[in-house]
Amino acid sequence: MNRLILALGLAPLIVGAGAAAAADPEFGSFWHDGKAELDGYRYMVNRYGEPRRGQCVMVFVTEPFSDSKRVKVDDPSRNPADTFDALKLNLVRDFQTGIYDYNTMASVFTRSADLLPVKISFSSAEWCGHVYEELRVDAHRITERVTSYFEDETSAREIDRPRNGITEDELFIALRGLRGDYLRAGERRSLTLLPGALYRRLTHRPLAWTTATIERLAKPQTVRVPAGTFVAHVYVVRIQGGREGRFEVEREYPHRIVRWAWTAPQGRDPATGWSRPEGNDSGELAGTARLQYWKLHGEGDERYLNMLGLSPMPR
* 148-185 tens-digit pLDDT: 999 999 999 999 999 999 999 999 999 999 999 999 99
Whether residue 285 lies inside any domain: the answer is yes
The domain tally of the chain equals 1
In a domain, 221, yes or no: yes
**Does any domain span residue 253?**
yes
Q: Is residue 301 situated within a structural domain? A: yes
**pTM of the complete model:** 0.92
312: three-class secondary structure by DSSP: coil
Task: Say if 55 falls within a structural domain.
Answer: yes
Residue range(s) defining the domain that contains residue 35: 3-308
pLDDT at 19: 57
Rounded Cα distance, 61 and 281, in Å: 24
State the pLDDT confidence band at 266, using cuts at 50, 70 and 90.
Answer: confident
* pLDDT at position 21 over 80: no
Residue 144 buriedness (CB in 10 A; 0-12 / 13-18 / 19+): middle
> What is the enclosing helix (H) or strand (E) of 81?
none
Pair type for strands 155-160 and 83-97: unpaired
3-state secondary structure of 78: helix
φ/ψ (deg, to 5) at 92: -105, 125
Q: Is 224 contained in some domain?
A: yes
